[in-house]
Amino acid sequence: MPQSQRIDWVDYAKGISIILVVMMHSTLSTEDALGHAGWLHGVVEFARPFRIPAFFMIAGLFVAHTIDRDWRTFLDRKVLHFVYFYVLWLIIQFAFRAPFLVADHGALGALQAFLTAFIDPYGTLWFIYLLPVFFLATRLTRSIPPVIVFLVAAALEIAPIDTHWTLIDEFASRFVYFYSGYLFSVYILRGAAWSRSHMALVLAGLAAWFLANLWLVHAGLSTDYGISLALGFAGAAAVVAISVLLARSHLLEGLRYCGQNSIVIYLAFFLPMVITRIALAKTHVITDPGTAAALVTTMAVVTPLILHWMVRGTMFKFLFERPARFHLVPAKPKKTTLLPAE
């Protein structure tokens, strides 16, 4: 399969995942602000079993390309890279939230919340926090037979772990998907290549998955032990298949662009989401919660892309580009290759 095609479907998959994540945050917070659910709520619930599993499986897909590098390079590419953006955007988000935290909990309470964010991820930034943890866990378990790591990770997902610590709970729930992206990357890539030339079978499989996922979500069974794991894998596979079909047909190029810049959207969607939601709630220009949530989602996705375009080549490019002084090794040159989700 040509490399450019591989890049296309991976970007589509990342685009689907990041938009579903933003949609979830935008819809639930908008519905909470307006007091009732809207038509977009059904889409959010349908995507619940697979949006995060797909995100992490794609993130783990190319770990094998870097996991054997020297520790200095590995830590720079897979740990410090995400630590930099987490700390930077933690400070930015906290600067906006601090006045409200101080008003509700006092200055010491606000300071405690800020410091706690370094040992337990803060708000919407938990994805960025977990990625280096997953990279490290995958590297440190290389000496253990992969089947054992996979089975333990699957058991953690199935187990009823609820410590109220995001780091522990989300690691237990999500590491199996990241590790599976790493462990089964060859088969995932082969499956994607196969999908390009077997559209009829892929479409039939997608229809069966759609109906099964819809029924299990509607029946309230999608979060049951074992079923959630199966739906996570099935949904992640469906995202791959849909992405391959979109890339094959060159449809929805904007979605692919979102995937190329998924980290930009993820880092910066919070502020435009909050601002748009507050503006709609106060002005009552749009009272339908579904339509309002769709507009909030659109603004939360588009605004970071515009901001990214505006700051490129300026003194503010540090918002989305790690400065050289925060590298352990020289930055790798930009090139059109198959890259991991970063």
pLDDT of residue 138: 96
| Cα separation, 254 vs 293, whole angstroms | 20
pLDDT of residue 241: 95
pLDDT tens digits, residue range 111-133? 998 999 999 998 889 999 999 99
Question: What's the one-letter identity of residue 259?
Answer: G
pLDDT of residue 250: 83
| Cα separation, 111 vs 102, whole angstroms | 9
- Which portions of the chain are predicted below pLDDT 70? 1-7, 332-342
The conformational region for residue 252 under phi > 0 = left, psi -120 to 50 = alpha, else beta, is left
pLDDT of residue 283: 87
| Cα separation, 149 vs 127, whole angstroms | 21
pLDDT of residue 188: 94
Asked whether 280 and 30 are in contact (CB, 8 A), the reply is yes
The closest of 155, 187, 232 to 61, measured between CA atoms, is: 187
| Cα separation, 215 vs 221, whole angstroms | 9
pLDDT of residue 335: 52
pLDDT of residue 339: 39
How many other CB atoms are there within 10 angstroms of residue 32's CB atom? 13
pLDDT of residue 37: 87
CA 183 centroid distance within chain: 19
Query: What is the overall mean pLDDT for the chain?
Result: 90
* Burial class (CB within 10 angstroms; exposed 0-12, middle 13-18, buried 19+) of 211: exposed
| Cα separation, 304 vs 257, whole angstroms | 12
pLDDT of residue 333: 63
pLDDT of residue 6: 45
| Cα separation, 150 vs 136, whole angstroms | 15
